[in-house]
Amino acid sequence: MAVSVTALGRLSLPRRLAPAFWGEAHLGDRAFRLCTAAFAAGALLTLAALALQMTRASALSLRRFGPGFVLGTEWDPVRESFGALPFLFGTVVSSALALLIAVPVSLGAAIFLSELAPGWLRSPIGFLLELLAAIPSVVYGLWGIFVLAPWLRDTVQRPLSGALGGLPFFSGTPRGFGMMAGGLILAIMVLPTIASVSREVMRAVPVGLREAALALGATRWETVRHSVLPSARSGLVGAIILGLGRALGETMAVTMVIGNRAEISASLFEPGYTMASVIANEFTEAAGDLYLSSLAEIGLLLFGVTLLLNALARLLVWRIARLPDGARRA
Amino acid sequence: MMFLGGPRREDPAQGREAAPRSAPAQAVEKLRAEGLKAWFGATLALKGISLGMKERRVTAIIGPSGCGKSTFLRCLNRMHEVAAGARAEGRVLLDGVDIYGRGVDPVQVRRRVGMVFQKPNPFPTMSIRDNVLAGAKLNGVRLREEDALFEKALRRAALWEEVKDVLARSGASLSGGQQQRLCSARALALDPEVLLMDEPCSALDPIATARVEELIHELAERLTIVIVTHNMQQAARVSHYTAFLYLGELVEYDETDVLFTKPQNPRTEEYITGRFG
């Protein structure tokens, strides 16, 4: 059964050597193992310490508001009444919006770069794409303020408001700054991540599988659709998860364009607020222990949401990466 | 049942002995290469090959590594040009029509001229059933016809008995030899007129090889087969005609019996007697 391991199988289930942690014969190997194990443990310890510290910092708020904090819709520092739902809403909706826009575009770009582009065009475009990921988010934010938001207001939102203003998504005053701008800027920021990882995943699909489809009389599109994408699917979901992670945690650029008002509105024109933004905006001027503690709890919540969404996405990868029976017999 | 592809031989060994009898001379040419040249980038891999392949016969292409035999095969269904920087020139006539001619759609050519690759390449994410039907579905076969079609294809590929109870399993769960026959079934489900086989047994053990060779015999009763092989015994066992390629040129072509017993060209003789290659 030497030939049946698929590229996909290899990506998700690497064949491993037997671990020999305790019975290591060579001193050098033992030291090497201890050393690397310590580094690995360091990452875990940091995570644990972070969670612990955040929980302690938010103790006051946790005691005062209890679980109701998550569902509270009011954020009033003056009356010291704090609830996280508007921020939770802002983070989840802006990230979802970002993925909604970025996933089709980046998959398309990845398919072009991996399957269709002529050889001489592939690396320059790929390089530029990766360069997009290297631009500091504050630069994206500035661009958002000076270019994106006014453009959205005049070119997109006004006509939308005129034509579809009856729909709750497009109701209210077109202002440029708001949920739509936040989602769009996030989409632009996660696009290079998703596109370049997807491209790598598709390149890893064996040539033999493409040729198999082509030899059956598949067109280029059919080859991608029936052979390349199915074989790459778990890696593609992985790419999207990476993008989601970036969208959830992104702070600066979103803060600069989303409008920063703690409200929940169905309209994409209305301003919103994300968890990361409120912490960045208000932490330095938070007067009062409860205020600080509430911001810390928002941080804890963001931590939890990220963890939860990642776990869900993992589950999704596991579900869709399942092959027909016996595919992994190898 | 008509779709069994002719009577099954009782004894595979005997079958393999009996097959490559000299074919009747009146067999029609199904496929003909004329002045076929092929490049990889700037490298000329085929230097103008003219060769006819007769209908319902097995034509073997032999030659040392790098002689261009796989490239030649891949030119016959326009698969050569899918590699980056690869191109071909010349004519390949399928029933007298040039498949490199203006306005010919390579996708349509590949549906008529099927291919089995050196390394078995079933789609790993598909079940056995879906693998067989993959090509047919591209052709828009209706759901109602699927059952009959894939059983017929698997029977023709002599795989039905072994997999009929595990059709939902992944194609990648089969043994190498079974995978190769699965790939043949996948090609056969399109009901091609020509089947190109690129060293189909080189990744297989002797028993699996015997099964595939037996399959070639059975298939040759219905369709035209061109097989590339580096194994001269295999060429002698399965083919009616053999072409010897060397350094991108056709050195000699004849009935298999003749080529292996009375080669005209000293190079052919040296190769088949194992003095180089």
pLDDT, tens digit (0-9, with 9 covering 90-100), for B47-86 = 999 999 999 999 999 999 889 999 999 999 999 998 888 9
Question: Quick one: how many helices (H) and strands (E) in chain B?
Answer: 11, 10
Q: Does B141 touch chain A (CB under 8 A)?
A: no
Chain A CA closest to residue B76: A215
Nearest to B172 among A215, A227, A327 (CB): A327
B79: chain A residues, CB-CB within 8 Å: 211, 214-215
What does the pLDDT average to over B2-30? 49
CA distance B138 to B158: 23
CA distance A128 to B184: 43
CA distance A2 to B147: 31
Task: Please report the pLDDT score of residue B53 as a whole number.
Answer: 95
CA distance A229 to A210: 11
Cβ contact (<8 Å) for A214 and B110? yes
Nearest to B138 among A5, A9, A218 (CB): A218
CA distance A186 to A251: 10
Distance from CA of B90 to the nearest CA of A (A): 21
Please give the mean pLDDT across all residues of chain A.
87
Cβ contact (<8 Å) for A1 and B114? no
What does the pLDDT average to over A121-126? 89
Residue B34, SS3 per DSSP:
strand
A227: chain B residues, CB-CB within 8 Å: 123
Per-residue pLDDT tens for A86-121?
999 999 999 999 999 999 999 999 999 999 988 889
Q: Is the dihedral angle over the CA atoms B167, B170, B172, B173 positive or is it negative?
A: negative
CA distance A67 to A56: 16
Alpha helices in B2-142 (DSSP H): 12-18, 69-75, 106-112, 128-138
In percent, the amount of chain A with pLDDT more than 70 equals: 89
Q: What one-character-per-residue DSSP string does B105-171 give?
A: -HHHHHHHEEEE-SS----TTSBHHHHHHHHHHHTT--HHHHHHHHHHHHHHTT-HHHHTT-TTSBG
Cβ contact (<8 Å) for A212 and B203? no
Nearest to B135 among A4, A7, A217 (CB): A217
**Residue A272, beta-bridge partner list:** A259
Nearest to A230 among B125, B183, B187 (CB): B125
Are the beta carbons of B245 and B251 closer than 8 angstroms? yes
Residue B98, SS3 per DSSP:
strand
Q: Does B97 touch chain A (CB under 8 A)?
A: no
State CA A247 to chain mean position distance: 4
Task: Please report the pLDDT score of residue B211 as a whole number.
Answer: 87
Nearest to A3 among B120, B125, B187 (CB): B120
Tokens representing residue A95 in the block? 């990230």
B114: chain A residues, CB-CB within 8 Å: 215-216
Are the beta carbons of B224 and B203 closer than 8 angstroms? no
> CA A100 → CA A103, A183, A243, distances in Å?
6, 9, 11
**Residue A133, beta-bridge partner list:** none
A205: chain B residues, CB-CB within 8 Å: none
Task: Please report the pLDDT score of residue B6 as a whole number.
Answer: 38
What does the pLDDT average to over A122-137? 89
B115: chain A residues, CB-CB within 8 Å: 215
CA distance B277 to B272: 9
CA distance B83 to B38: 12
Residues in chain A: 330
Which residues in B59-82 are b (16+ Cβ under 10 Å) and which e? bbbbbeeebbbbbbbbbbbbbbeb
Q: What angle do CA B229, B234, B235 make, to 5 degrees?
A: 65
Report whether pLDDT(A10) > 70.
Answer: no
Name the pTM for this structure.
0.81
**Residue B224, beta-bridge partner list:** B194
Max alpha carbon distance in chain B (Å)? 57
Report whether pLDDT(A325) > 60.
Answer: no
Task: Please report the pLDDT score of residue A313 as a whole number.
Answer: 80
Per-residue pLDDT tens for B103-158?
999 999 999 999 999 999 999 889 999 999 998 888 776 667 777 888 889 988 88
Report whether pLDDT(A324) > 90.
Answer: no
Residue pairs between chains A and B whose CB atoms are closer than 8 Å = 117
Distance from CA of B39 to the nearest CA of A (A): 17
Distance from CA of B230 to the nearest CA of A (A): 20
Residue A232, SS3 per DSSP:
helix
Q: Does B120 touch chain A (CB under 8 A)?
A: yes
CA distance B154 to B184: 9
CA distance A297 to A69: 9
Architecture of domain A58-329: Orthogonal Bundle (1.10)
Nearest to A119 among B84, B122, B123 (CB): B84
Are the beta carbons of A87 and A275 closer than 8 angstroms? yes
Q: What one-character-per-residue DSSP string does B210-238 give?
A: HHHHHHHHHHHTTSEEEEE-S-HHHHHHH
Tokens representing residue A53 in the block? 């510290």
Q: Does B167 touch chain A (CB under 8 A)?
A: no
Find where tokens 């066992």 sit: B237
Backbone angles phi, psi at A210, to 5 degrees: -65, -45
Q: Does B79 touch chain A (CB under 8 A)?
A: yes
Task: Please report the pLDDT score of residue B276 as a whole number.
Answer: 72
Report whether pLDDT(A11) > 90.
Answer: no
Task: Please report the pLDDT score of residue B65 as a whole number.
Answer: 87
Report whether pLDDT(B16) > 80.
Answer: no
In percent, the amount of chain B with pLDDT more than 90 equals: 62
Cβ contact (<8 Å) for A8 and B84? no
Residue A158, judged by CB atoms within 10 A of its CB (0-12, 13-18, 19+), counts as middle
Task: Please report the pLDDT score of residue A188 as a whole number.
Answer: 94
Nearest to B173 among A206, A218, A327 (CB): A327
> CA B119 → CA A162, B80, B177, distances in Å?
60, 16, 10
Task: Please report the pLDDT score of residue B44 as a whole number.
Answer: 93
Distance from CA of A122 to the nearest CA of B (A): 12
B110: chain A residues, CB-CB within 8 Å: 214-217
CA distance A21 to A194: 36
What does the pLDDT average to over A204-210? 92
Q: Does B40 touch chain A (CB under 8 A)?
A: no
The most confident of the ranges A16-20, A276-280, B63-67 is A276-280
pLDDT confidence band for B12 (50 / 70 / 90): very low
Q: What one-character-per-residue DSSP string does A122-190 give?
A: HHHHHHHHHHHHHS-HHHHHHHIIIIIHHHIIIIIIHHHHHHHTTSGGG-S---SSSHHHHHHHHHHHH
What does the pLDDT average to over B254-268? 93
Please enumerate residues of A whose Cβ is less than 8 A from a Cβ of B.
1-9, 119, 206, 208-219, 222, 226-227, 230-231, 233, 323-327, 329
Count of beta carbons in the 10 Å neighbourhood of residue A80:
12
CA distance A301 to A269: 26
- Strand extents, DSSP E, chain A: 75-76, 81-82
Task: Please report the pLDDT score of residue A24 as a whole number.
Answer: 60
Distance from CA of A241 to the nearest CA of B (A): 21
What does the pLDDT average to over A322-326? 59
Of A187 and A132, more confident: A187
Q: B215: which residues sit within 8 A by CB, 6+ positions away? A: B157, B158, B181, B184
B172: chain A residues, CB-CB within 8 Å: 4-6, 9, 323, 326-327
Alpha-carbon dihedral B244, B250, B256, B261, rounded to 10 degrees: -70
